[in-house]
Amino acid sequence: MATASADSSGPTGHVNLEINGTPVEVLDDGRSLLEVLRSAGHVEVKDGCSPQGQCGCCTVLVDGAPRVSCVTPVRRVKGKSIVTVEGLAEERRDLWAGAMCASGGSQCGFCTPGIICRLEAAAEKGADISDRAVVDKALLGHACRCTGWQTVHEAAIRVASTETTTEQRDLVAAAERARLEGGAVQTVSPNVALGHGGFADDCAPSHSLVALPQGDSWVVAESLSEARSLLGKVQGRRTTVPAEPPITLADGRWDVTLRTCWVEPAYLEPDAVFCEPGGEPVGPLTNGGAFGGKLDGQMRVDARRLADEHGKPVRLLFDREDVVRQGPKRPPLAIGVDTNMRGVLRVARTPGVDDLVSGLASGLAVQQVDLLGPPTSLSLRGAVRAEIEMVKAQISDDAEPTVLLTSGAWARASVDDNAVNVVVHAGAALDEIILRSYVIGAAHQALGFVRSESLAVDAEGEVQDLTIRSFGILRSVDTPKITVEIVPSESDPVAASVAAYCAVAAAAWRDARYPPVVPVSAHG
């Protein structure tokens, strides 16, 4: 991208604009502002749902106003000033980065640059970002799957008071706690909040080819826009097909029943892998565990093969619809039990489910069901375990269900319309900020699982809900305050976010008066 004058007329077929104070000239070839920015090395601007314009990860400031860049044609910003999170005034940028790190307001950090741009624009206009209602309104166009919003609010309060971080933290210990909870390496530092977590697609060489999935093969092109053009991609939409639990209960006279729908884990960073010819593939897990998703190694195999075939680095990318169609889901199930916890669990056929259930509820007979639909996995946070803990809690009618893991980690929770309260034991905390952030994120996800999250899959097994806002993820405005009490311990550190997820799911189901189908919003 060549430097040009600030004149906005430009030659035919080109657009002049300013990016973070530098005048540039770009070809007007139909690309979005997001693709132009990332092609120019501004990888702090993230592609979470492109071209849906629904997750907010690609938010930048255009003449000071926040705009999602994935649905903004570059010709629409001719002559305008574009500011990414890196282009904010240094003092403000560092204040936001420090506040997000100090509060645990960014875990993987994928959504955080867009959130910072949005909230900074609100603050510049005089909005009181220490007010939760003000922040909730500003974040209506954003999705965050890691943090549960509470820690983002706390970061905004720090920035509103221009509070700098003075406490000393062992960020190596913090990263170890993040690894325990997420099951994958994760960096902890202020730079993560600015989009520098080291995601696979951010690290790929600029001259890499781009490969997009087409059935069982890949379409390879020089650029993302060219690959999409070759695919003839038509943007998916939210369906009117209702989300239904796909498995019926086994015959019997049951005291407690629970049926679940398909659910999308909805991690924000779409799967991405790149590979140099003859090299080792990078991705899809590079900064965070995607809640147990992204475990299939086929993308890595294909990346190595395509790089060797073409003799150039290749980036393999899923878009949001690819993630939804091909990514693993929680196994839908139907449980019927008596008051002695004896009964039948019918569940989508999933490797390992028999062993898991026998260790949790020996009185449950497992019937695995062959379903048409996306793949399922027990690696996803609390899959099947949470549903069994929910049923156990109904039988006991425990006001604060407690979940104990074999590792020694445990959590108990209470839920009502105004608050979610979690007590957690995780051995030595290592870093209370990161532990608390993960527990809050798990609580937010569990609350959404019970109250609102579902995925429509038709009778042929085709996923119908393809936009990120159709998954039922709780927005900031929908999320009550979440408090966490960490039990002090000198024992070995163990992961506790799964225990927290299960405990909050059980407490949320109790608060909803134990409806036989979840989510409550679809089948209350």
Per-residue pLDDT tens for 190-226? 999 999 999 999 999 999 999 999 988 999 999 998 9
The CATH number that applies at residue 115 is 1.10.150.120
Query: Over the stretch 443-455, which tens digit does the pLDDT of each residue have?
Result: 999 999 999 999 9
Answer whether the bond into residue 284 is a cis peptide, omega within 30°.
yes
pLDDT of the residue at 8: 42
Q: Does residue 55 sit within a domain?
A: yes
Q: Does residue 360 sit within a domain?
A: no
- Measured CA to CA, the distance from residue 271 to residue 283 in angstroms comes to 8
**141 and 221 share a domain?**
no
Last residue of a domain, one of 62, 86, 110: 86
**160 and 294 share a domain?**
no
**144 and 208 share a domain?**
no
**300 and 390 share a domain?**
no
Element (H, E) at 220: strand 217-221
Q: Does residue 333 sit within a domain?
A: no
Question: Does the model's pTM come out above 0.75?
Answer: yes
DSSP assignments along 19-35, one per residue: ETTEEEEEE-SS-BHHH
**101 and 19 share a domain?**
no
Sign for the pseudo-dihedral over CA of 383, 443, 523, 472: negative
pLDDT grade for 164, boundaries at 50, 70 and 90: confident
Q: Does residue 262 sit within a domain?
A: no
Which structural domain range is residue 230 located in? 199-234+271-317
- Measured CA to CA, the distance from residue 99 to residue 86 in angstroms comes to 16
Q: Does residue 169 sit within a domain?
A: yes
Q: Does residue 370 sit within a domain?
A: no
Nearest to 262 by CA among 441, 472, 467: 472
**483 and 426 share a domain?**
yes
Q: Cβ(68)–Cβ(113) under 8 Å?
A: no
Neighbours of 87 (CB within 10 A): 20
Contacts of 234 (CB under 8 A, 6+ apart): none
Looking at residue 437, its amino acid is S
Tell me how far CA of residue 508 lies from CA of 4, 174, 448, 511, in angstroms: 57, 29, 9, 5
**173 and 204 share a domain?**
no
Neighbours of 20 (CB within 10 A): 16
Last residue of a domain, one of 148, 181, 198: 198
**466 and 499 share a domain?**
yes
- Per DSSP, which regions of 89-204 are E strands? none
Sign for the pseudo-dihedral over CA of 148, 151, 154, 158: negative
- Measured CA to CA, the distance from residue 262 to residue 472 in angstroms comes to 12
Residue 216: both structure tokens together: 């069982």
**15 and 112 share a domain?**
no
**417 and 492 share a domain?**
yes
Contacts of 176 (CB under 8 A, 6+ apart): 430, 431, 493
pLDDT of the residue at 298: 92
The CATH number that applies at residue 29 is 3.10.20.30
**145 and 278 share a domain?**
no
Query: Over the stretch 241-297, which tens digit does the pLDDT of each residue have?
Result: 789 999 999 999 999 999 999 999 999 999 999 999 999 999 999 998 899 998 778
Q: Does residue 334 sit within a domain?
A: no
Residue 398: both structure tokens together: 């425990």
The CATH number that applies at residue 394 is 3.30.365.10
Query: Over the stretch 103-153, which tens digit does the pLDDT of each residue have?
Result: 999 999 999 999 999 999 999 999 999 999 999 999 999 999 999 999 999
| Domains contained in the chain, number | 4
Element (H, E) at 389: helix 385-396
Q: Does residue 165 sit within a domain?
A: yes
**110 and 173 share a domain?**
yes
